[in-house]
Structure 1
């Protein structure tokens, strides 16, 4: 079994009490995070396949009057993401990976360069901040020049997703911060 399959299985099999405790610790770090307090436009993902549950984070961001954006696979460039505004009224559809995303409406698109924070999904990560995603390279392509855009990418994970070393490639983007418990 490869590392991606192994970590996804560990994440899915995390005992409920452990999952709840870890998510609570992660939520507390988000609430106390200075960068999040100052941010206006925040991208986040809808949880899938045992990931940290993001619905409570989204609810908190809405309560703090933050604009929340979800990733959508670009309709013409299928290797890229668009970010669409997400509100409680937004209708969701399943994409080609069976992940919920907003129905495409160009009026709700925000160029990713205007995001302050991008919560980034990951399968595994190491101490250096390298992440392993699902293998599509969507976030690595988008974040290639994030330092020039004043964007703060933040990974969200459970401690069981931490590995000793990710064999990173030159195009892999190192995250400056990963919130995990």
Structure 2
């Protein structure tokens, strides 16, 4: 990727982050409710058992309501945690009311890894997840996406070993984060679809 393309992505990232931060608290709550209604209509959501989500930050659309719904349906919820040994990758740890939390180096809350002992039986390998709901900074209707730029999800879900099972990857975003064109990086792991409060942008036709 050229320096010019990287600069385009950086500027677009700044613009779209500012856009979603301008949404009012009332608009954010309404978007979260609509997102929950959208996802519970999706057959792939009803089928899955182990779901990875995120805690909303920096104006991201909140999955909190759909997490509550998923727990009531008996689904297991996992949160991403910065991998303690492999830089740039993620672990996924079971998220419950009693899960001890701490802020990572980006100031985002995640399950604490202190001692690692409490993780026995609670950490789920990425390949065993059924569904991963990912935050987005920007996206196109064709499924191209723009993340925060750290590449954590890309490294975690790259198909770099024989037999690796990649879970269903779905991006969550506000409709105002959609753009017509997006400079794509070679390392971007493709999504199966993108869900907003108004629409499912289906990339994988078998979704």
Normalising by the residue count of structure 2, what TM-score does the alignment of the two structures yield?
0.82
Structure 1 residue 31 corresponds to structure 2 residue 45: no
Look up the match of 1:171: 187
Distance apart, 1:122 and its partner CA: 0.9
Alignment of 1:135-174 (within 5 A): 135-145=149-159, 149=165, 151-174=167-190
Look up the match of 1:7: 16
Structure 2 CA distance for aligned equivalents of residues 133 and 8 of structure 1: 10
Q: Secondary structure at the match of 1:149?
A: coil
1:29-67 deviations in Å (ceiling 9; x for gaps): 111111111111100001111111122121111111111
In our comparison, the structure showing a higher alpha carbon Rg is: 2
Distance apart, 1:23 and its partner CA: 2.3
Alignment of 1:1-181 (within 5 A): 2-104=11-113, 105=116, 106-107=119-120, 108-145=122-159, 149=165, 151-181=167-197
Distance apart, 1:150 and its partner CA: 5.2
Normalising by the residue count of structure 1, what TM-score does the alignment of the two structures yield?
0.93
Following superposition, which runs of at least 4 residues in structure 1 exceed 4 angstroms of deviation?
Answer: none
1:70-107 deviations in Å (ceiling 9; x for gaps): 00000111210000011111011000100000012331
Contact 1:94 1:101 in 2 (8 A): yes
Change (3 A) 1:9 1:152: same
Q: Secondary structure at the match of 1:113?
A: helix
Q: Secondary structure at the match of 2:40?
A: helix
Structure 1 CA distance for aligned equivalents of residues 26 and 95 of structure 2: 30
Contact 1:118 1:154 in 2 (8 A): yes
Q: Secondary structure at the match of 2:28?
A: helix
Gaps of at least 5 residues in structure 1 are none
